[in-house]
Each structure stands twice: as structure tokens, then as C-alpha cells.
């Protein structure tokens, strides 16, 4: 596997300082520039071999096509929906995320919102600050014995399930990839969405945003839910349709929503945020010291490994976006060739084949030859 030459990297967001340090220790020149406009980024990107982002930098086709030397786009985090992975794949640019760095933090925030929804903690705190002592208004409900529906049973969904089970919640869920026999080992009974909606007292979504998950909770699915269902979205804005959610909150079909993410960030329309039964955060799921340290370190080490021709972790190509949740794609160097290892898939469906075809294509442009594909659950 031929080493890839990466001399200069641009970090366009607030990424943990360990990222810069690790890259520099490995002889890579690093420039940090935050809050760039699209035009600034287009002008700037020409000079770099690599770009490291979080969720705020929109790496559109314009940006990718303006890049003359770009070989890698590293996402210090999970979701790559702010990167035009199609455009990158076509140019042979590897898009790489850090699949596990912020799992625990995202799961903990989800649990925090579920608990806050059950006991109105944010509303009660605001009421106290306003000088009130209102014990009647904030009558809550126990989580104990309630049913939590988890849509998307990847890493985060799993951690949410096991934590909420300790509160005595029954966890049911749906995922198009993780097999039911696997989720059963961590206490989640899988079923179709049609079966799931009417059973849940709480629903939390943990899928990437893509055509098949946009508006997963919409007017039709809300209508199938129990009246007063409470929902949490710490994944991506738009998985729960925002207009449908507002309608459901107004009709009380939805009894409350915990939102960490929005279609537009920051949201311009404040109708949802201002609704009394909505509690919200400004996309804080990954904003912990621990998660940021992990993601910053992971992305730097993954880039260094790639430069050294050692291995490639978290590589993503356009076809991955057709999935319900991301399988973990890793590669290993075998002599001068490369072996792809996939975690989370046990069958080679047509869709899986297209993932490999794309990954192999990108790797080929970068001078790798794929010799083997292994799959593990
Ligand atoms: O990792 C993810 O997918 C996140 O949503 C976190 O986004 P951030 O890195 O905090 O901008």
C-alpha cells in the first residue's frame, strides 16, 4: 500500500488541540481557521491535502471541486451529512469519520433529555428563576415500566437502551442492519416501525440523516403513536419532521420533545424551541471534554495511519448513505495490499456490494488494491 503524501491540513472548526499536536508530531503542517465563509473556504482549500471538520463546515461540491490537492476529509465526529460524500467519492477523496468517539456522550445527552421530559426539569428550573414555587404545574410521570422505542440500533442506540433499562424501561426498536438476535442480547426487541409506533411512551431516533430517514416521524407516523408520546432527537435535524412535530405538540398528540438538533442550525424559526413542551440544546451531543478529546485524537491518528500506509479506519463512500445506520468500515494492510473489514453486516446484499464497489474505487484512485473483504457482527 503506497503511502499517501499529506503535507498540509486545514482544521476549519474547534477540534481538540491534541489533533493538531498529533498531526504536527508526524510532520504534517496544520493551519486552524474557524468561522470561514463558503467563499473563504473555497479560496483557502486549494492549498491543502487534507481538511478536518466537525458539523458546522459545509463541505459542498463547490468546495470539493475547488480543492486541487485534497486527498482526505476527516470528520472529527460521526455524522458526515455536512460533507458531499458523492462529490468526494467521484474525485477519489477519502471521507473518514471517527465512528465511536462521541457515542457515550450522545447517549448520555439522550438519556438526560428523556429524564428531563419525564419530570419537566428545565421548565421547573426556569420557573424557579422567575421567582415561582409551582409544584402542581410540573407533575411528572415515572420512566419505570414505560416503553422506549429506539429507532436506529447502532452504537448510540445500544448505549441508550442499556442505560434506560436501568430505569426499568422496556426497550423496543428497529434497525434495518443490526440483526434482531444481536439487539436481543442487549435487551432490545426488534419489530417493524408499524408495530413500534403504537406501543411507545417515548421514542428516540439514532439514525443518520438520509432520504430514507428524513421525516421518519411525520404526520402519518405521529398519528399511529400513543397520544402524548414524547420524542427525543439527538441525531440529526429533520429525522423528526419539524412542522409535523409542531402540529403534534399543538394537538397534544405529542406530549413533549427533547431536541438537540435542527434542520437549520441555529434554527431561524423559533416556534418549536419556544413551545412550552419542548426542551432543547444547541447541538451539544458531542460537546463533552471526553468526546472531543477522543474524536480529535482518533481523526489525527487515522490520518497519520493513512499517510504511513498502515490502515484506514472510518472510510465512508456515497453508497453508505443508503443505509439505515452506518456499518463500521475498517481496512488493514496486508503486504502491499489492503483488506476491508466490515463490522455490523453479515450478509452481502446488493447494497453491501455497492458500498464495497465505491470504497474499492476510491481506494484504487489513491493507489490501494483491495484483496479481501471480511464481515463480522
Ligand atoms: O458527531 C456527530 O455526528 C455530531 O453531531 C457532533 O457534531 P459536532 O462535532 O459537535 O459539530
Q: What share of the chain is helix, strand, coil (3-state, %, to 5)?
A: 35, 20, 40
Q: Cα(239)–Cα(86) distance, rounded to whole angstroms?
A: 21
Distance 56 CA to ligand 1 centre (A): 9
pLDDT of residue 96: 85
* Ligand 1 lined by 286 (C-beta under 6 Å): yes
Distance 309 CA to ligand 1 centre (A): 27
324-335 b/e (C-beta count within 10 Å ≥ 16 → b):
bbbbbbbbbbee
* Ligand 1 lined by 207 (C-beta under 6 Å): no
pLDDT at 333 over 90: no
pLDDT digits (tens, 9 = 90+) for 267-280: 998 999 999 999 99
Among 54, 75, 155, 236, the one annotated catalytic: 236
| Mean pLDDT, residues 188-217 | 94
Orientation of helix 17-25 relative to helix 289-307, angle to 10°: 20
Active site residue 236: yes
Are 36 and 13 spatial neighbours (Cβ–Cβ below 8 Å)? no
Among 54, 75, 155, 283, the one annotated catalytic: 283
Q: Cα(258)–Cα(119) distance, rounded to whole angstroms?
A: 12
pLDDT digits (tens, 9 = 90+) for 98-133: 888 999 999 999 999 999 999 999 999 999 999 999
Query: What is the β-pairing status of strands 94-97 and 315-316?
Result: antiparallel
Q: Cα(82)–Cα(88) distance, rounded to whole angstroms?
A: 12
Q: pTM of the predicted model, to two decimals?
A: 0.87
Least confident of 97-101, 156-160, 256-260: 97-101
Query: Is the interface score ipTM higher than 0.95?
Result: yes
* Ligand 1 lined by 102 (C-beta under 6 Å): yes
What sign has the CA pseudo-torsion 20, 316, 215, 118? negative
166-to-112, 152, 161, 162, 246 alpha-carbon distances in Å: 14, 20, 9, 7, 31
Distance 153 CA to ligand 1 centre (A): 18
Long-range contacts of 261-264 (CB under 8 A, 24+ apart): 261/233, 261/234, 261/235, 261/236, 261/237, 261/285, 262/237, 263/237, 263/238, 264/237
Q: Which residues pair with 94 in a beta bridge?
A: 72
Active site residue 25: no
- Listed in sequence order, the DSSP H helices in 57-165 are 61-66, 85-90, 103-119, 121-129, 155-165
Are 146 and 202 spatial neighbours (Cβ–Cβ below 8 Å)? yes
- Ligand 1 atom 7: residue of nearest CA: 55
pLDDT of residue 361: 60
Closest CA to 68 of 90, 51, 47: 47
Are 301 and 22 spatial neighbours (Cβ–Cβ below 8 Å)? yes
pLDDT at 297 over 70: yes
What is the average pLDDT score of the chain? 87
Atom in ligand 1 nearest the alpha carbon of residue 79: 3
Give burial (CB, 10 Å; 0-12/13-18/19+) of 358: buried
pLDDT at 81 over 50: yes
* Residue 211 pLDDT level (bands cut at 50, 70, 90): confident
* Ligand 1 lined by 285 (C-beta under 6 Å): yes
pLDDT of residue 212: 83
Distance 295 CA to ligand 1 centre (A): 10
pLDDT of residue 338: 57
Q: Cα(88)–Cα(225) distance, rounded to whole angstroms?
A: 39
130-to-124, 247, 258, 272 alpha-carbon distances in Å: 10, 28, 22, 21
* Residue 167 pLDDT level (bands cut at 50, 70, 90): very high
- Ligand 1 atom 11: residue of nearest CA: 55
Distance 12 CA to ligand 1 centre (A): 14
Active site residue 13: no
Q: In what order do the strands lie in the sheet with 50-53?
A: 29-32, 8-11, 50-53, 72-75, 94-97, 315-316
- Give all strands (DSSP E) within 126-277, no chain letters: 147-151, 170-174, 189-190, 202-205, 229-233, 254-259
Atom in ligand 1 nearest the alpha carbon of residue 76: 9
| Best of 55, 74, 108, 296 for a ligand 1 pocket test (most atoms within 8 Å of beta carbon) | 55
pLDDT digits (tens, 9 = 90+) for 355-374: 555 666 666 655 555 555 54
| Mean pLDDT, residues 134-149 | 97
Amino acid at each position: 500500500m503506497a503511502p499517501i503524501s499529506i503535507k498540509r491540513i486545514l482544521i476549519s472548526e474547534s477540534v481538540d488541540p491534541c489533533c493538531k499536536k498529533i498531526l504536527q508530531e508526524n510532520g504534517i503542517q496544520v493551519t486552524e481557521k474557524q468561522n470561514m465563509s463558503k467563499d473563504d473556504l473555497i479560496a483557502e482549500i486549494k492549498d491543502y491535502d487534507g481538511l478536518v471538520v466537525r458539523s458546522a463546515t459545509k463541505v459542498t461540491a463547490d468546495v470539493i471541486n475547488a480543492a486541487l490537492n485534497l486527498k482526505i476529509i476527516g470528520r472529527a465526529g460521526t455524522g458526515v451529512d455536512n460533507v458531499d460524500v458523492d462529490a468526494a467519492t467521484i474525485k477519489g477523496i477519502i471521507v473518514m469519520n471517527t465512528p465511536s468517539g462521541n457515542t457515550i456522550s450522545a447517549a448520555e445527552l439522550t438519556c438526560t433529555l428523556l429524564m428531563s421530559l419525564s419530570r419537566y426539569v428545565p421548565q421547573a428550573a426556569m420557573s424557579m428563576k422567575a421567582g415561582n414555587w409551582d409544584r402542581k404545574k410540573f407533575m411528572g410521570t415515572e420512566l419505570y415500566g414505560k416503553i422506549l422505542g429506539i429507532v436506529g440500533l447502532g452504537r448510540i442506540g445500544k448505549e441508550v437502551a442499556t442505560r434506560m433499562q436501568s430505569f426499568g424501561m422496556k426497550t423496543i426498536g428497529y434497525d434495518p442492519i443490526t440483526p434482531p438476535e444481536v439487539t436481543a442480547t442487549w435487551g432490545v426487541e426488534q419489530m417493524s416501525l408499524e408495530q413500534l409506533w403504537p406501543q411507545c411512551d417515548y421514542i428516540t431516533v439514532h439514525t443518520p440523516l438520509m432520504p430514507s430517514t428524513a421525516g421518519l416521524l411525520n404526520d402519518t407516523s405521529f398519528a399511529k403513536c400513543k397520544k402524548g408520546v414524547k420524542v427525543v432527537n439527538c441525531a440529526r435535524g429533520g429525522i423528526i419532521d419539524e412542522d409535523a412535530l409542531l402540529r403534534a405538540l399543538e394537538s397534544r398528540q405529542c406530549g413533549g420533545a427533547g431536541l438537540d438538533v435542527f434542520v437549520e442550525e441555529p434554527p431561524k424559526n423559533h416556534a418549536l424551541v419556544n413551545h412550552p413542551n419542548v426542551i432543547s440544546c444547541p447541538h451539544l451531543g458531542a460537546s463533552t471534554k471526553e468526546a472531543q478529546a477522543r474524536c480529535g485524537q482518533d481523526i489525527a491518528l487515522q490520518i497519520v495511519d493513512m499517510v504511513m500506509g498502515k490502515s484506514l479506519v472510518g472510510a465512508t463512500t456515497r453508497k453508505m448513505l443508503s443505509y439505515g445506520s452506518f456499518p463500521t468500515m475498517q481496512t488493514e494492510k496486508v503486504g502491499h495490499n489492503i483488506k476491508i473489514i466490515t463490522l455490523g453486516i453479515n450478509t452481502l446484499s446488493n447494497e453491501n456490494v455497492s458500498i464495497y464497489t465505491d470504497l474499492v474505487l476510491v481506494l484504487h484512485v489513491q493507489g490501494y488494491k483491495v484483496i479481501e473483504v471480511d464481515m463480522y457482527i
